[in-house]
Amino acid sequence: MPQTVNTTPIDPYLPQNGNRGYRVSRYELDITYRPASNRLSGRAVIIAVTTGVQPRYSLDLSPSLSVSKVLVNGSKAAKFTHSNGKLTVTPQHKIPAGGVLEITVVYAGTPRPVRGPWGEVGWEELTEGALVASQPNGAASWFPCDDHPSSKATYRISITTDTPFFALANGKLLRKQAKASQTTWEYEMSAPMAAYLATVQIGNYRKYRVGTVGEPVPMDAVLPPRLRAEFEHDFARQPEMMALFTEKFGPYPFDSYTVVVTDDELDIPIEAQGISIFGANHCDGRRGSERLVAHELAHQWFGNSLTLGQWRDIWLHEGFACYAEWLWSEASGGPTADQLARAARTNLARQPQDIIVGDPGPQDMFDDRVYKRGALTLHALRLELRDKMFFDLVREWTSRYRHGSVTTEDFVDLAGHYTFTPLRGLFAAWLGTKPLPQLPPVGGG
């Protein structure tokens, strides 16, 4: 009996992304990159389990990269096509549901960012080196993958590049081996990770320890030596941020945390799993970007450990990270979270109220109003629950869904257990309607 093919997009915000028929459990990536020519060659092994019997399987892969060979389950070369950003592979034999699907892809090319409504994302050539900033759909610019945030897997990433360069990827450094004029750096990310959070950073960098030895979470900096003095001033309070967020949000979800500062300027900092990337312009020697330091660190809990299942729920990432900025301000002697929340609401009231934060649409999902009103949703909830219950809720949220996928409904349901007062009206007003609600008074309920 012929099978019907489900053509419904996995996510309407990114209808071309994501793939059916399997669930990836692991990626093993071996890439070689030559900065002078911006040339990348790679071998990717994608290990998955099938969810149904089907004649072919697809992966997301940029047209900028050319595929020379595909193997399925170690057998002889499999048939494949590569067009419109999809690598479609036909195994020689059908694989039963629940069977192992191991696809090996050999590829090469000149990596370029993926163009979209949000600008260019993915692999980006720097003046000397490269960076990867893939949110939301740029992972396919440098490796074949199931590029949707609900698809999380472990990773081994090996980078071979010219010896003067430092190469960084997610996770723990397993091996560094110099051979002739090139060095191979091999990393292991053992916590499940969405493809857009996988990163490679290559530059004339050095690695430094942040804070003191023996702190609960090892923290490092990877940056050009010329920026070290500015970095040590601007990021000096990062250990205090880590202590605050660990208290408020629960244990840090990964083994370590690394901040990269590129030699080039960047419009905005970028989070990756276990790593945040800043531009040289964010090291000004005056702590001018300290709120962004807090924001990116908070994403390790909200976005990287707890990752949205659908892009419409992006307030779950950005609302929490924005609220973390306000919590840090209050803890470090600046304006209180309540003062910042009320100022943010005043500013939002002057702007068009024409998006729904709980489903802003793909064009507006990175709109600053999503960030600020998402944070205001949390502040309104905090005022309703009072501090103890609110932070108990946040810690249970990060614990229950650690390294998993989350939805707004998950959060609303969990919050409902922390009060006898119905909360659906609060969430509906802040997340489900366009008009801007009033914040309740402090101490109200």
Terminal CA-CA length for the chain:
60
Q: What angle do CA 318, 332, 369 make, to 5 degrees?
A: 25
- Is residue 299 part of an annotated ligand binding site? yes
β-sheet bridge partners, residue 20: none
How high is the pLDDT of residue 326?
98
How high is the pLDDT of residue 215?
82
Catalytic residue ranges: 296, 371
- Select 206-300's CATH number: 3.30.70.580, 3.40.50.720, 3.30.2010.30, 3.30.70.1150: 3.30.2010.30
Tokens encoding 318: 């950005």
For tokens 């909830």, what's the residue?
381
Using CA atoms, how far apart are residues 374 and 262, in angstroms rounded to an integer? 30
CATH node for 22-116+131-195: 2.60.40.1730
Fold classification of 308-431 is Neutral Protease; domain 2 (1.10.390)
Q: Domain limits of the chain?
A: 22-116+131-195, 206-300, 308-431
Exposed, middle or buried, 214 (CB in 10 Å: 0-12/13-18/19+)? exposed
How high is the pLDDT of residue 76?
77
What is the reported pTM?
0.96
How high is the pLDDT of residue 5?
58
How high is the pLDDT of residue 2?
43
Element (H, E) at 100: strand 100-109
Half-sphere exposure of 249 (CA within 13 A, CB side): 27
| Domain 22-116+131-195 and domain 308-431 have a common topology | no
How high is the pLDDT of residue 445?
44
Using CA atoms, how far apart are residues 276 and 258, in angstroms rounded to an integer? 7
Tokens encoding 391: 């932070």
pLDDT tens column, 336-364: 999 999 999 999 999 999 999 999 999 99
Please list the ranges in the chain whose pLDDT falls under 70.
1-5, 443-445
Smallest Cα–Cα separation from 157: which of 33, 48, 64?
Answer: 33
